[in-house]
Structure 1
Amino acid sequence: MDTEHRTAGPPWLRHWAEAEPGGGLPWRSTLLIAVFVLVGSGFAARNQLDRQPLDAYSRILLLAGPALLLFRHRRPVPVVFGVAATALAYLAAGYPYGPVFVTVAVACYAAIVHGHRRAAWWALGLLWLGHVLAGHWLYRHLPPAGDGPAPWGQELPVAGFVVAILAASELVRVRREQWAQQRVERAAAERRRADEERLRIARELHDVLAHSLSVINVQAGVGLALLDGDPEQARTALTTIKAASKEALGEVRQVLDSLRPPVSRHHPSNDALRAAPFDFGDAPRAPAPGLDRLPELVEQAAAAGLTVAVTRTGDPAPVPPGADLAAFRIVQEALTNVVRHSGSRTARVRVEQRPDALRLQIDDDGPATGDDAGGSGNGLAGMRERAAALGGTIDAGTRPDGGFRVRATLPLRPKETP
């Protein structure tokens, strides 16, 4: 049985079911059982004067069971048969009934929760059978002297005790398996959430950097081409590069801030951050972008030499934040792909908002340039992942006339779960 399975459940149950910390023998619980059995048997003997009085041999048998219980987690099968044998020897010798059955219960419990159910059942069955033989047929040859046959009525409580031990042990075994399964499911859910969060951050960083770096790439080429012949236009290109890079740094900082806990204003690490040689500017921690920032995308595309026409129709109601961010990123990535891969210098963005869904369509007239343009190739995959996360769809491909079209449908929920 693996460690995760064995350690499932509440602490009070683990204390009785497991070995000592560090993998040693369960000394403390076994010592407590031994004391309870010895003291309890002494009290039980006072009210059973017809049985043999406790002597040195009886105490050896009473201690033999707890001694075997020390190994109940390492060798549960031999232990459960050994404890049942010592208990049967104790009862066959005519000693008083009492806490000797506690050692049998603990041994059976350990065997069952470690997966040896059949061994526990056999041990208890043999103990009960031996008790029946001793009490009804072999009593003439066993102490105490002159003892008669035991009444059959007393076998009912013994049988009930056997059934209770098995039922309780089986119940604990089932509960431990359920706890172990829950632990596995929680761990899987945590890994899944972590993977989804990493994927979300990767998409955000890809969309932010791909768009901004595409603008920077185009403007850097313009600046280099005009540096000698038209310094004023080169200055404009450099100004665009500065603005695009500052915005990209702000958005990257916003994404990365979600990964780290807030740091106290007086935390010592702030000094190191302030002394760092990187200047992130005064980019504010703005809310996540949405369709209200489409004019900014149009301006950035214009700075990269792309003319974008935007058409919005339908219901003007506010869009849920998740769908709003996804729509903005899809349009941003689609325009980035036009800048990178299309020979067209115009694009058309159509936003249709319905009560139940938001429909996006981005078109360019092409043709594709076939240039790599430094892209990662994950843009369309990221768009599909964003749409799928909201239960929407993406359809992207070449039009018959040589242009390229991206269509997205994002369902709108009346109320988003926070």
Structure 2
Amino acid sequence: MSTTEPIAAPTVGSRVRRLALPLFLAVFLVVGSFGAADGQPDRRPADWFMVLLLLKASLALYWLRTHPIPVLWATVVATLVYMLMQYPWGPVILPFVIAVFTSIRLGYRLAGWSALAGLYLGHVGGRMVLGINHDGVYQVLLVGACFIVLGFVAELFRAHRDRVMAAARTRKEAELRQAGEERLRIAQELHDVVAHHISLINVQASTALHLVDRQPEQAGPALSAIKDASKEALVELRSIVGILRQSDESAPRQPVTGLDRLEHLVSRTSRAGLEVHTIVHGDPEPLPIGLDRAALRIIQESLTNVVRHARATEATVRIQYGDEALVLQVDDDGQSLTGPPAEGNGIVGMRERATALGGTLTATRRPTGGLRIIATLPLPERSGQADVGRVEVGDPGHA
């Protein structure tokens, strides 16, 4: 599909450059036509009206890019009148050729082909009406063939221009899409880091406030946990900011962290008063960085939701290394409510992480109370590995 090229606001420099071609062409046409008149005694002698037609056709090109259709038909009229008045043959056709070629290349295809047909039919019909029959049938057909070739050459250039513009649009859309994905990743990373640590700090602060008057000696561990959680939050935030500041293409685009940090995550969450059990099925194996990181963040966000909203005392994290997928399940023994769980930024963010990897994530209430998060993350295709025994993930019997 052809599109017309957008016209940029002209500057002084662009106006000077646009005027150069029409002026040069005007001088060339006038000088060339007077020179050609010497060898054509049977044609109408050169006069001031011939010069006026040549100047009209050439100088009109100054407005070709801003008003292509009026300029195109101005060259058609000037060229047709010149030919029918039998002025000397010369370079008179050049402004018309430039106008047709540029119009079609800019996307004004109908106007360009109409101008070609209009000049050709006007020339042939006008000669018949005026009784001008110096040219034979072959010459007339040759002119028509040249016009058709001109149109097709202009179409080739237009098609190339359309491909270039489409490629530029595709690149722009890809850049915008990539920027959006980067913003989403940053938002997810900040949410995971800040929400988790702030939740732990909030729980420990509540505990410290409760103990500070009644059992001040017991408030120390809670305050220490607050200090550790805030310190870790600052370290992770600095890591994220440091990555964002790096402009080198080889720099990592996201913090490198994964399930190797799970034990630390569980220990830190347990200090907030939530007893966390970890069960691993199958043989742990190295995972791609993106999948490894997403797995840890999903578990982290699940535990954060438990600490913030569930009023639970216990949570179980199950990790199943299967043949085709890594399955994560987080259960808690929180409040026994009915109806589907409300999906805030946490569950939405976890589902987006899973979906980005081609996986799924569900959040449902357990019949015995609490919430169950199950994330299924596809593993990359592997070859030459023994099958890993698949264990069905379900309710923990005893953790």
TM-score, length basis structure 1: 0.79
Deviation at 1:300, TM superposition (A): 0.8
Give, in angstroms, the shift of residue 139 of structure 1: 5.0
Does the residue aligned with 2:284 lie in a helix, a strand or coil? coil
Query: 2:236 aligns to what?
Result: 251
- Partner of residue 379, structure 2: 412
2:212 aligned residue: 227
The residue aligned with 1:14 is: none
Residue 97 of structure 2 corresponds to: 105
| Inter-CA distance 138–363: structure 2 relative to 1 (3 Å threshold) | same
Alignment correspondent of 1:276: none
Counterpart of 2:75 in structure 1 is 83
What is the CA-CA distance between 1:332 and the residue it aligns to? Answer: 0.4
Secondary structure at 2:297's aligned position in 1? helix
Match of 1:94 in 2: 86
Which amino acid is the alignment partner of residue 333 of structure 1?
A: E
Structure 2 residue 120 is the aligned partner of structure 1 residue 128? yes
Q: Which residue is 1:401 aligned to? A: 368
The separation in 1 between residues aligned to 2:9 and 2:210, in whole angstroms, is 76
In 2, Cα distance between equivalents of 1:19 and 1:223:
66
Note the 1:349-360 alignment, pairs <5 A: 349-360=317-328
Task: Return the offset for 1:55.
Answer: 4.4
1:308 aligned partner? 276
* Structure 1 residue 342 displacement after superposition: 2.0
After superposition, the CA RMSD in angstroms is 3.1
**Deviation of residue 343 (structure 1)?**
2.9
CA distance in 1 between counterparts of 2:123 and 2:243 reads 69
2:158 is the counterpart of 1:173: yes
Q: What is the DSSP-based 3-state SS (H/G/I as helix, E as strand, rest coil) of the residue aligned with 1:5?
A: coil
**1:159 match:** 144
Q: CA deviation at 1:88?
A: 1.7
Determine which of 18, 26, 30 is the counterpart of 2:22. Answer: 30
Relative to structure 1, is the Cα distance of residues 71 and 19 closer, same or farther in structure 2, using a 3 angstrom cutoff? farther
Shift of the 260–229 alpha-carbon distance from structure 1 to 2, 3 Å rule, reads same
The CA deviation at 1:364 is 1.1
Query: What residue in structure 2 maps to residue 390 of structure 1?
Result: 357
Question: What displacement does 1:260 show?
Answer: 2.6
Is 1:197 the counterpart of 2:182 in the alignment?
Answer: yes
Q: Which runs of 5+ in 1 are unaligned?
A: 8-17, 141-147, 264-284
Contact 2:336/2:368 (8 A) holds in 1: no
Deviation at 1:39, TM superposition (A): 4.6
Tell me which residue corresponds to 2:390: none
Q: Point out 4+ residue stretches in structure 1 off by more than 6 angstroms.
A: none
Is residue 236 from structure 1 mapped to residue 221 from structure 2 by the alignment? yes
Query: Could you tell which deviates more after superposition, 397-406 or 375-384?
Result: 375-384
Describe the superposition over 1:155-180 as per-residue Cα deviations: whole angstroms up to 9, x where unpaired: 23211221123223333334434433
Offset at residue 97 of structure 1 (A): 2.8
Range 305-314 or range 290-299, more displaced? 305-314
Q: Which amino acid aligns with 1:86?
A: A
Mean Cα deviation higher: 344-353 or 24-33: 24-33
Query: Shift of residue 360 of structure 1?
Result: 0.6
- TM score, norm. by length of structure 2: 0.82
| Number of residue equivalences | 371
Instruction: Structure 2 unaligned segments of length 5 or more: list them.
Output: 383-399
Residue aligned with 1:70, SS:
helix
Give aligned-pair identity as a percent. 45
Distance 1:62 1:122 in 2: 22
* Cα 1:238/1:48, change in 2 over 3 Å: farther
Distance 1:344 1:355 in 2: 33
Larger mean Cα displacement after TM superposition, 247-256 or 65-74: 65-74
Q: Which residue of 2 aligns with 1:143?
A: none
The alpha-carbon distance between structure 1 residues 241 and 44, as it changes in their structure 2 partners (threshold 3 A), is farther
Distance 2:119 2:4 in 1: 33
Q: Aligned equivalents of 1:230 and 1:369: distance in 2?
A: 34
Look up the match of 2:332.
364
Task: Provide the secondary structure at the position in 1 that maps to 2:257.
Answer: coil
| Structure 1 residues 19 and 405: CA distance shift in structure 2, 3 A | closer
Q: Does 1:347 align with 2:332?
A: no
Deviation at 1:43, TM superposition (A): 5.8
Change (3 A) 1:184 1:365: same
Shift in alpha-carbon separation, 1:341–1:310, aligned structure 2, 3 A = same
Amino acid at match of 2:21: S
